[in-house]
Amino acid sequence: MDVTLKGPFIALADQKETIAARGDTLGELLEAVAQAEPGLGRRMFTAQGAIAPELDVRVNGVDARLLGGVKAALLPQDSVVLAPYPLEPMTPRQAERYARQMILGEIGAAGQARLTAARVAVIGAGGLGAPAATYLAAAGVGHLVIIDGDRVERSNLQRQPLHRDEDVGRPKAESAARSLRAINPDIEVIAVEEFLAADNALELLRGCDVIVNGSDNFPTRYLVSDAAVLLGRPLVDASILRFEGRLSVYLPRQGCYRCLFPEPPPPGSVPSCAEAGVIGALGGQMGSLQALETIKLITGAGESLGGRLLVYDALMGEERRFRLRRDPHCAACGDHPTLTELVDYEAFCGVEAPREAQEGLGIPVPEALALREDPRVQWLDVRAQGAVDRPTIPGALRLPLEELGSGEALDGARPVVVFCEIGRRSLLAAERLMRHGIDARSLEGGIVAWTAAGLDLTC
């Protein structure tokens, strides 16, 4: 392929504007260029073999650092351009703010300028997104897009220190943006008070250099992964549950979440943090690692976690690493991808009912309480299998959502109040029972709301 040179690099290569070279990775290609043009070659790499900070390498217009630097995978039809990185002068206030990281050789003034120019999307301003966004803002990432359609709940504050007690009830994206601007007024923070969905994802994520996923559900995880593949952008993904954290970086053309998990787990089979619990400091740990990997990608510092999965067992204080390989048969990033646009992820993940079908099925605790006197009403606990020995509402039948079927175990002629830990699984269950002709309502807020109202549970 032809490598195009710009600016002073043309003079370093004896006035050549293009150099023909070959390589399956960017490292191989740049080595070939350096051998052909030693004058230029001396300016291309650091002593550690990374791309020199002042060198701007674009593959099809995208900063090569975001594609994995020297490890970026190349195809013969790619266009590669080498140019000097334009360094904007910094204000004294910025120089003071970023002094501690700019003295790091791997960051320097060029790395800081790259951070200032970067645009990063953070999906979810929760347990992971809040710490990730905090460190990205503090490090001076110039443009942060915070996407979250939720509102702050008091139960979030245990692990999302970006939000304060007085923010309870406020949109999370707005609350996060306000805190981030207070940490660093020099950056732009864009609050998007929407949930990421198939109909807005490409528009919101297009133009972002790195996508940081802090969402906590499978439909969004697949959606974000597919969008990152379609947009050709790196994805810094993480998840936390109980005491275990996971982190992986998916670089363009080097594998995606679907390569690892082509099929989602059966609905309800993996509990949420609301159901199974999570320790807040673990979110801080994994979220700040997400920020660190993002900063490494933007500045080209060190070696990206790309192609590896890190699993951190906080209880034992141990971590394990696994290699991720691109699956050539992957529907999204394989050699012959079948997934060329975003799809219905709730249906894909078996989250069966559309939101409209679930509307009006909720019943608040006081109304449900009034039904306690009615002997015809059946009370149904649909929490996951692991909840069988946890206290429940007296007289309730325990039947995990996975075993509910079409409600064969129930008396179809009698009304049902379904509940779970927080009211999400029960909403799915109620919608399914209604479809099978059983009069069902879902207890709003679940067991959490029930106990918050001072009502008793039994074992």
* Catalytic residue list: 273, 420
The stretch near Zn ion (CB under 5 A) out of 117-125, 209-217, 250-258, 344-352 is: 250-258
Do 381 and 425 touch, CB atoms closer than 8 A? no
The stretch near Zn ion (CB under 5 A) out of 94-102, 169-177, 332-340, 397-405 is: 332-340
Q: Which is nearer to Zn ion, 219 or 255 (CB)?
A: 255
Report the residue closest to Zn ion, judged by CB. Answer: 330
180 binds Zn ion (CB under 5 A): no
Q: How far is the CB of 333 from Zn ion (least distance, A)?
A: 3
Q: How far is the CB of 229 from Zn ion (least distance, A)?
A: 7
The stretch near Zn ion (CB under 5 A) out of 67-75, 203-211, 251-259, 360-368 is: 251-259
258 binds Zn ion (CB under 5 A): yes
Helix or strand run (H / E) with residue 173: helix 172-183
Strands (E), 89-243: 119-123, 143-147, 188-192, 210-213, 235-241
Do 139 and 113 touch, CB atoms closer than 8 A? no
Return the structure tokens found at 264: 């989602």
Q: How far is the CB of 324 from Zn ion (least distance, A)?
A: 9
How many residues line the site for Zn ion (CB under 5 A)?
6
259 binds Zn ion (CB under 5 A): yes
Q: Which residues contact 276 (CB under 8 A, 6 or more apart)?
A: 241, 242, 386
Tell which positions 340-379 bind Zn ion, by CB under 5 A.
none
Tell me the C-alpha distance between 386 and 359, whole Å: 28
In angstroms, how far is the first alpha carbon of the chain from the final one? Answer: 70
Q: What angle do CA 313, 316, 322 make, to 5 degrees?
A: 40
The residue within the footprint of Zn ion, chosen from 256, 416, 428, 433 (CB under 5 A), is: 256
Q: Which is nearer to Zn ion, 225 or 426 (CB)?
A: 225
The stretch near Zn ion (CB under 5 A) out of 94-102, 145-153, 157-165, 256-264 is: 256-264
The string of DSSP codes covering 218-261 is: HHHHHHHHHHHHHHT--EEEEEEEBTEEEEEEE-TTS--HHHH-
333 binds Zn ion (CB under 5 A): yes
330 binds Zn ion (CB under 5 A): yes
Tell me the C-alpha distance between 410 and 398, whole Å: 11
Please give the residue ranges that form the binding site for Zn ion (CB under 5 A). Answer: 256, 258-259, 330, 332-333
